[in-house]
Amino acid sequence: MSGTTFMSSSNLLLTSESVTEGHPDKICDQVSDAVLDAIIAQDPDARVACECATTTGLIIVMGEITTSAYVDIDKLVRQTIRDIGYTRAKYGFDYQTCGILISLKEQSADIALGVDKALEAKMGEMSDEEIEAIGAGDQGMMIGFACNETPELMPMPIVLAHKMTKTLSRVRKHGVLPYLRPDGKSQVTVQYQYGQPKRVDTVVVSTQHAPDVEQATIFRDVYEHVIKAVVPEGMLDDKTKVFVNPTGRFVTGGPLGDAGVTGRKIIVDTYGGIARHGGGAFSGKDPTKVDRSAAYMARYIAKNLVAAGVADRLELQVSYAIGVARPLSLMVETFDTGKISDERIVQIIDDLFDLRPAAIIRDLNLRRPIYKATAAYGHFGRDDIDAPWEATDMAEAVRRAGGLA
């Protein structure tokens, strides 16, 4: 979407979705990150690329892990499924009786060659202080985004969608709506006028439920305890379209209803489709994988730039080559909202932020077990988890550098 289109349109509808922690794909993300956390807690330098798949009565854990740590993965997987809420066979999935297959091997030695020592270090292009810098764990491009339309500096559609699915989970676990089951989705369409949210146009909530509950009861309860509890006052009106379980029934859910795979909800994980996406998933990957760490750094930079008033909306793209420490490219888009030129913004980023993988890991303190909490309800815009990429501690330095202080 061009900046001109976004800022000049008097009636633009933008939609984002979220899924609950009991969605099959999110089960897999949480299992992958639970394994990562358990390993990195014992061995901060571990190399982890843990994937997961699930279907009826089965979890498969696979990938490449190089570590000195020992983790009882079978036990860890069952604890994760139990915490999500699949505790009874009648829910279609049960942590005690599901089958678990584990197929793990060490990281490829060819990949390790580039990650252990960056190309620049091999060629003598780094100083002694920098010689330990690691290379990027893969090639690819990563996106960071921020906007000032919500306190989280995130797009409103994805903020509301996440809050709805999180509220669905909370009212289920706290017994407010005890007939709910772990699987569920939300979708929120927001109407924008000239770049600003005006109203919520459409809400869709689909939630797994017990078979003996009537559709009218589910609609009433979800509208009162989830939708109205989340949407800001004045954003719902008599023209807002609301759909709750629009098929009329959602009893079969979770892995019984659909297969799940790690990394299949990358738009839910990021900006809800409002910003571009580099393509790489996050969950199950240690911070040497720039798919994850550089995406976190790009969000950190974008958020600090918007917090500093450099732009109202800002998207950042950075790219890497495997085994090379320094980024290959850096691009900024401000959607016609920049207070200074995009070229000047790129220079500020170059001056204030180090985008080499080792520096990202150091500056965001990423060799810690902080990842499972990110695996449901989004990686960005969170103040309820330990997410150092959400800090705005560089905003004042950005203001000074941009002459905005």
Active site residues: 23, 25-26, 51, 64, 185, 250, 258-259, 264-265, 285, 289, 291
Strand 313-320 relative to strand 260-261, pairing: unpaired
Distances (CA, A) of 35 to 28, 47, 392: 11, 12, 29
Distance of CA 18 to the CA centre of its chain: 10
Alpha-carbon distance of 301 to 315, in angstroms, equals 10
DSSP string, 27-91: HHHHHHHHHHHHHHHH-TT-EEEEEEEEETTEEEEEEEEE-S----HHHHHHHHHHHHT-EEGGG
Token pair, residue 232, equals 């800001």
Sheet containing 241-244: which strands, arranged edge to edge?
12-19, 180-193, 196-209, 241-244
Picking from 338, 298, 335, 302, the residue whose alpha carbon sits closest to that of residue 192 is 335
Token code pair at residue 180 = 């709910």
Count of H-run helices and E-run strands, the chain: 14, 13
Report the SS3 class of residue 405.
Answer: coil
Separation of alpha carbons 297 and 143, rounded Å: 9
98 neighbors 87 (Cβ within 8 angstroms): no
Tokens standing for 11? 């009636």
User: Which two structure tokens, joined as six digits, stand for 385?
Assistant: 């988890």
CA angle 156, 162, 167 (to 5 degrees): 125
The two tokens of residue 97 are: 């009786």
| Three-state helix/strand/coil letters over 192-241 | EECCEEEEEEEEEEEEEECCCCCHHHHHHHHHHHHHHHHCCCCCCCCCCE
Strand-pairing partners, residue 55, are 58
